Structure 1
Amino acid sequence: MKRVAIVGCGFVADLYMRSFAAHPEIEVVSCYDRDEARLEAFSKYWNVTAAADLETVFTEIADTGLILNLTNPRSHYDVNKGALEAGCHVFCEKPLAMSYEDAQSLHAMARARGLQLGSAPSSVLGEAAQTLAKAVRSGDYGTPRLVYAELDDGFIPQAPLEDWKSESGAPWPYVDEFQIGCTLEHAGYYLSWLIAMFGAVTRVNAVSADILPDKRDVADAAPDFSVAVLEFQDGPLVRLSCSIAAPHDHRMRVVTDRGVLAVKKAWDNAAPVKFYKRMRLRRRLLESPLAKRIRLTAKETHPKLPRKGAAAMNFALGPAEMLEAIGTNQDSRIGGDFALHLTEVTLAIQNAGLGGGAYLPKSTCAKMEPMPWAH
């Protein structure tokens, strides 16, 4: 049995617990939250042992499993550092830390101690992402020339945020969400796919801004809009946008010299991947309205979850892959260099400001090895 201990029992922790139910090979052995009421509600709802303190969680899981860090992003560095110092492998919600320097120090610590340190999001390990990556690798649909990736969520400040609660009763932390910002929260969903397909980002050209003055009177709000043009080690130019203002749009479109590969739902592991072939009709050039759906040859990929709220995602894919890597003494696909590079590029976009300008990442990573069922 593979073992996981959860630190942080807020809104997202319930999404992970729903996902672990589809992975009977993984046991959640304990949980901890500094908010005693939240810890009690979560542990009772999910029937998970509540730990007395962080040290107990670390001691219990060291060398035998994985710490799942689901705390507020501002606490990620401290919890990750404490877990690594205690000899624990760590899978952390995004980002690894709030600064590249802190993320780099965690990366170095994990490497020096022979520990795995990985980062959400896990969707890059899902069927939709792996199908798109295989289509790009194959060359059957043309050479990628340009990518548009959209992570716009609608005018979120006007949504009924106070009514959003998790299964065990945790409120959606909209104050934290506004203070952390939609780029840190969401850019990784497609940025991880892009890095997996095209390798390291070599240049970030970005602008970020706080364009909505009234977000429930939340002070110190982070940018609620960003747009980046990314240059890759081996790939096309990419435009990546994030906002909580523009109408909901979660499409990725890979423009090739033969047509367009498209996915419409970033947060659905089973989202269809389609190819719209370019064609000439009389004097017009257009993409065919009749798309070809691209499928993997494997009949079984990974456990999928029904839609819950805004997503149909298996949040346990990352922890499950990392536990498998630990068990076979291999590097996790979404750990190590990959996690550090994803964090650095996301922070560069978030911190670009209105002045924009170019940022040259200091870290690098290789393209992702496909999942076994995606070859």
Structure 2
Amino acid sequence: MRRRVTKLIRPRFDQAKWVGRSHDEKLIRSTTSRGAHTVTKQQLTLGIVGAGNIAGQYARDLTTYPEVHLAGIADIDSSRAASLAEQSNCQAYASPDDLIADPAIDVVVNLTTHTAHVEVITKALEAGKHVYSEKPLALSYSDAQGLVQLAEQKGLRLGCSPCTYMGEAQQTAWKLLREKKIGPVRAVFAEMNWGRIESWHPAPGGFYAVGPLWDIGVYPLTLLTTIFGPARRAQATGKVLFPDRVTQEGTPFHIETPDFVTGSVELESGVLIRLTVDFYVSMKTKQKGVEFHGDTGSLWLGSPQWFNAEVEYAPFNEPYETVPYVREPYEGTEWGRGVLDMVHAIIEARPHRATGAQAAHVVDILEAIATSMREGRSAEITSSFSQPAPMEWGA
């Protein structure tokens, strides 16, 4: 049975709306609790909604970009917002609604929990803000598609993580693949063994509620659809391997969403992906990263997430050797890089890379995998998107 047929979504870009909407030909003065800040038309004002674990890493990055003025932070827990705002030298808003309503804010960076994404993004778009959201864009394809359409109707940008394909290691691998270093690619092995969330995160409940498929499956799927284009079919199986767990504080909890998922995703280009995602196997496993197999050789990327991951190449039946990066890599993951690319795109009136349309397509893939697990059959994927361009320095 076919799932649905969806037309290719291409956001409409209107330079007058992007560049002239809130910073026009004049200076914007954004006043925060730290004092007045002058923002030129070459700088956009951002606000973060959600002050959880990842927000500190975003704020750290965003405060280093000359093109970005981080005006403030909001959270349903005002104490968390106040703490991060103090660290980031910006304003703590009384509530997420107050931040979204602030006319000084050009872009809302949505870092809320998975289940709040649709509500926050919708409010921000309705308020006339561009939005960059943490992944996944939504927990259903219909909701994700609705957000893309709303942004298009409003003439606003909608971006979504992960932007990790913008990393130096990932761009290096992509360049080699474009150059046919290993010939036509026919198979890809993608492993995301993410350990046990309770061993490093103080509040693991939200992660286990959605499961590894929706939380970390987005990383290899976004990378691989960026490189090879849209998916068309998925087949998978999943299981709860380790149902009873204990938080760092010693509180027992029980999970019901599969913590181990494995299966295959067939792309429109013919590339077949073998995907494994789990919250059980240690990150120190020898099975990790993304391995591309072509007619004349193989390419191994140590992680789809870390910008300084290992990149190795091997001719067919020969040992792997390290490949030099296209440029010196960032150590770890620069979480703000996708936001910065969208800011540059708004200022320069060009398409941004981490689009809502691709994020919605990835949600469609995740939904197909979940359908396959639940119904024990192959599930079709019919949505599509326009692939992003490589980074200028990675081309």
Q: Give the TM-score normalised by the residue count of structure 2.
A: 0.82
CA contact (8 A) 1:338 1:366 kept: yes
Taking a change above 3 Å as real, the CA distance of residues 25 and 124 of structure 1, as seen in their structure-2 partners, is same
1:259 aligns with 2:297: yes
1:24 aligns with 2:66: yes
Equivalent residue for 2:97?
A: 55
For this pair of structures, how many residues does the alignment match?
Answer: 345
Return the letter of the residue paired with 2:242.
L
CA contact (8 A) 2:74 2:92 kept: yes
CA contact (8 A) 2:188 2:274 kept: yes
**What RMSD, in angstroms, separates the aligned Cα atoms of the two structures?**
2.0
Return the letter of the residue paired with 2:212.
C
Taking a change above 3 Å as real, the CA distance of residues 24 and 328 of structure 1, as seen in their structure-2 partners, is closer
CA contact (8 A) 1:65 1:323 kept: no
SS in 2 for 1:287: coil
**1:245 Cα deviation from its structure 2 partner:** 1.6
Equivalent residue for 1:151?
A: 192
Aligned runs of 1:79-228 on 2, under 5 Å? 79-154=120-195, 156=196, 160-161=199-200, 164=201, 172-216=202-246, 217-219=252-254, 221-228=256-263
**1:210 Cα deviation from its structure 2 partner:** 2.0
Match of 1:333 among 341, 346, 353: 353
CA distance in 1, matches of 2:170, 2:376: 29
CA contact (8 A) 1:208 1:352 kept: no
CA contact (8 A) 1:116 1:331 kept: no
**1:350 Cα deviation from its structure 2 partner:** 4.1
Match of 1:11 among 25, 39, 53: 53
CA contact (8 A) 2:137 2:356 kept: no
**1:31 Cα deviation from its structure 2 partner:** 0.8
Taking a change above 3 Å as real, the CA distance of residues 174 and 255 of structure 1, as seen in their structure-2 partners, is same
Aligned runs of 1:347-358 on 2, under 5 Å? 347-353=367-373, 355-358=375-378
CA contact (8 A) 2:234 2:372 kept: no
CA contact (8 A) 2:124 2:131 kept: yes
**1:239 Cα deviation from its structure 2 partner:** 0.6
Structure 2, unmatched stretches of 5+, are 1-42, 247-251
**1:61 Cα deviation from its structure 2 partner:** 5.4
Equivalent residue for 1:369?
A: 389
Identical residues among aligned pairs (%): 28
**1:294 Cα deviation from its structure 2 partner:** 4.3
CA distance in 1, matches of 2:205, 2:322: 42
Deviating more after overlay: 256-265 vs 218-227: 218-227
CA distance in 1, matches of 2:275, 2:340: 28
Q: Give the TM-score normalised by the residue count of structure 1.
A: 0.86
Deviating more after overlay: 21-30 vs 135-144: 21-30
SS in 2 for 1:340: helix
Equivalent residue for 1:44?
A: 86
**1:272 Cα deviation from its structure 2 partner:** 2.9
CA distance in 2, matches of 1:176, 1:221: 12
CA distance in 2, matches of 1:106, 1:267: 25
Equivalent residue for 1:281?
A: none
Aligned runs of 1:233-312 on 2, under 5 Å? 233-248=268-283, 249-278=287-316, 286-289=317-320, 291-296=321-326, 299=327, 304=330, 306=331, 312=332
**1:111 Cα deviation from its structure 2 partner:** 0.7
Structure 1, unmatched stretches of 5+, are 165-171, 279-285, 307-311
